[in-house]
Chains A and B, each alone.
Chain A
């Protein structure tokens, strides 16, 4: 049994089935990659698991340790250990990096925030007193997002394209975060378009058009990258049956 189970999940937005009868098990302490073309529904799945507004009117269920969390609010889910590193993180006027990093931290010491920044390759002295606002570059903001997840020490983290918009060096820092999560027993769900990031995972899932198309070892799913990531005939017309 997985720590987090998505059961026959369907989400309709704007009369479109964005998630279509999707079932996936995520295993305790493992790193899972979630791949698929643009518009496949990867972020939608992450947002639905997190319970964000606009993503709660679902069919099917989401189970944490076997119990439904579908009626829980975002913060209740977070307090049960689930969190999300956003694909495009929010900006906050006037909110200091230090305060942002410690907002959800178990241990509120400033050194915890500083260590998290170092892990993602940002110099604490330069960043702790800056604001999490528009003056941060896209890559800096993404790194700070990861740092804030580190301080939280979640049980389950949904990482939505942590590798988009960052430089090659930062890739190494994402791997460092993954090692920390691994050592803490954190379950990771990693959304990515990068073969290098995919290789860090232990299992991979391939989505297309709101459905699960394939799952298995990362090397197996990696082949879809080589084949331009499309196992079905073409986007928007997914295969009828799931490959087991």
Chain B
């Protein structure tokens, strides 16, 4: 297969129109296994990618003050049923730079695929960076996903990360993000995951609000059914004066699924403030009966409620 064929197949698996490419002002990076199959960069956006035996090592940098208007498209994937893809990623947002990334991770045929990501993300002062990672898995549940990230959000910077896995089988996920926030920075960490069958989902998010007036929200929404298991650990420490944080964990459990949440909030400055909210259990009966009173079956009502929660 040519690189173009591979890109086409990857895009098809994530439901993107094949045939016409992305516009010129949209940057992209497409990686199949350990091969870069497509790149398109823009002024001020640098990507240094090195192919390695089991994956890639990439350094992505947005230069000082550069604003990338349209979301950068990244696609990591593996088409065969078996294989390993290890992404080592360094992201540097230089001062006052702005960019957003829409990343798709697609493993449509996975029977035994391992996708590892080790990211070091540096958001320099007053930079703004948002990253949405959407996973598309097949129905065989054969993916092991291990994303790890160490993030530093510097003074006045804004970092938002969203992790979404709601199509296909989650497989096994072990997610571990850790962020440190300096003065007046903003951190948003959001995860939305749906598990079924024998899926196991482990989420570990840690935030440290070091600087004064730093703010953070850690938000996890998970729906598990059948025999799936979810275990969420959210820890948020507010140490900076007037720092503010909120931890929110919602888990809907059905069938023989099991969910657990451990929110840990710590405040060690008298002017700091952290709140947390965790709700685990079946679908709220008032919501359910409201939709049923409009004629929806219980099953359809549950589906609609979960779809909303994960949207």
Contacts from A to B (Cβ < 8 Å): 50, 52-53, 73-75, 77-79, 83-84, 86, 89-96, 99, 103-104, 131, 148, 152
Query: Which of B180-188, B193-201, B281-289 forms contacts with chain A?
Result: B281-289
Contact of B295 among A86, A94, A104 (CB under 8 A): A104
Between-chain CB contacts (< 8 Å), 13 pairs: A73-B292, A74-B293, A75-B301, A78-B294, A86-B290, A90-B286, A90-B290, A91-B287, A92-B305, A95-B304, A95-B308, A99-B308, A104-B295
Residue of chain B at shortest CB distance from A75: B292
Cβ of A84: which chain B residues have Cβ within 8 Å of it? 293
Q: By the criterion of a CB under 8 Å from any partner CB, how many residues of chain B are at the interface? A: 23
What's the nearest-Cβ distance from chain B to residue A15, in Å?
Answer: 23
Which A residues lie within 8 Å of B25 (CB)?
none
Flag whether B69 is at the interface (Cβ < 8 A). no
Please name all residues of chain A whose beta carbon is closer than 8 Å to the beta carbon of B286 when the two chains form the complex: 86, 90
Contact present for A104 and B309 (CB under 8 Å): no
B264 on the A face (CB < 8 A): no
Question: Would you call A52 and B305 a contact (CB within 8 A)?
Answer: no
CA distance A96 to B305 in the complex (A): 10
Quick one: CB contact mask for B266-307 with A, threshold 8 Å, 1 for yes?
Answer: 000000000000000000111101111111111001001101
CB neighbours (8 Å) of A91 from chain B are 287
Say which residue of B292, B293, B304 sits within 8 Å of A99 (CB atoms): B304
Instruction: List the B side residues contacting A92 at CB < 8 Å.
Output: 287, 305, 308
Q: Which residue of A lies closest to B294 (CB)?
A: A104
- Whether the Cβ atoms of B308 and A104 lie closer than 8 Å is no
* Complexed CA–CA distance, A131 and B297 (Å): 22
Q: Is there an interface contact between A93 and B294, defined as CB atoms closer than 8 Å? A: no
Interface contacts (Cβ under 8 Å), in number, total 69
Question: Which residues of B (118-152) have their CB < 8 Å from a CB of A?
Answer: none
Q: Could you tell me the distance between the alpha carbons of A77 and B289 in the complex, rounded to whole angstroms?
A: 11
A148 vs B293: C-alpha distance in the bound complex, in angstroms? Answer: 11
B289 touches A83 (CB 8 A): no
B2, CB-defined interface residue at 8 Å: no
A94–B309 CB distance below 8 A? yes
- The CA of A50 and the CA of B286, in the complex, are separated in Å by 13
A5 to chain B, nearest CB (A): 20
Contact A95 B305 (CB under 8 A): yes
Query: In the docked arrangement, what's the CA distance between A93 and B284, Å?
Result: 11
The 7 closest A-B pairs by CB, nearest first: A104-B294, A95-B308, A94-B308, A94-B311, A78-B295, A75-B292, A74-B292
Q: Is A89 a contact of B308 with CB atoms below 8 Å? A: no
Let me know if B311 and A103 touch, CB within 8 A. Answer: no
A74 touches B289 (CB 8 A): yes
Q: Given the complex, which residues of B lie within 8 Å of A94, measured CB to CB?
A: 307-311
Tell me the complex Cα distance, A152–B293, Å: 10
Complex contacts, B292 vs chain A, CB 8 Å: 73-75, 78
When distances are taken between beta carbons in the complex, the residues of chain B under 8 Å from A79 are: 295
Tell me, in angstroms, the Cα distance from A93 to B285 when the chains sit together: 14
B293 touches A78 (CB 8 A): yes
In the complex, A50 Cα to B292 Cα: how many Å?
10
Chain B proximity of A83: nearest CB distance (Å): 5
Docked Cα-Cα span, A236 to B194, in Å, equals 50
Give Cα A103 to B297, complex, Å: 11
**Which residues of chain A have C-beta atoms less than 8 A from B287's C-beta?**
90-92
A148 touching B294, Cβ below 8 Å: yes
Per-residue A-contact encoding for B152-184, CB less than 8 Å = 1, 0 else: 000000000000000000000000000000000
Smallest beta-carbon distance B288→chain A, Å: 9
Q: Which residues of B contact A103 (CB under 8 A)?
A: 291, 294, 296, 304
Given contacts A75-B298, A94-B308, A99-B304, contact A104 B291 (CB under 8 A): yes
Once the chains are docked, how many angstroms separate the CA of A50 from the CA of B284? 17
Chain A residues with Cβ below 8 Å from B301 are 75
Task: Write the nearest CB–CB distance from A155 to chain B, whole angstroms.
Answer: 11
Select which of A50, A73, A74, A131 is within 8 A of B308 by beta carbon.
Answer: A131
CA distance A84 to B308 in the complex (A): 22
Question: In chain B between 204 and 254, which residues have their CB closer than 8 angstroms to a CB of chain A?
Answer: 250
Least CB separation from A148: chain B residue: B294
List 19 additional A-B contacts (Cβ < 8 Å) besides A79-B295, A103-B304: A75-B297, A77-B293, A78-B292, A78-B294, A90-B286, A90-B287, A92-B305, A93-B250, A93-B308, A93-B309, A94-B310, A95-B304, A95-B311, A96-B311, A99-B304, A99-B308, A103-B294, A104-B294, A104-B295
Residue in B closest to A133 when the chains form the complex, CB atoms: B308
- Closest Cβ of chain A: how far from B165's Cβ, in Å? 16
With both chains docked as a complex, state the minimum distance between the C-beta of B242 and any C-beta of chain A, in angstroms: 25
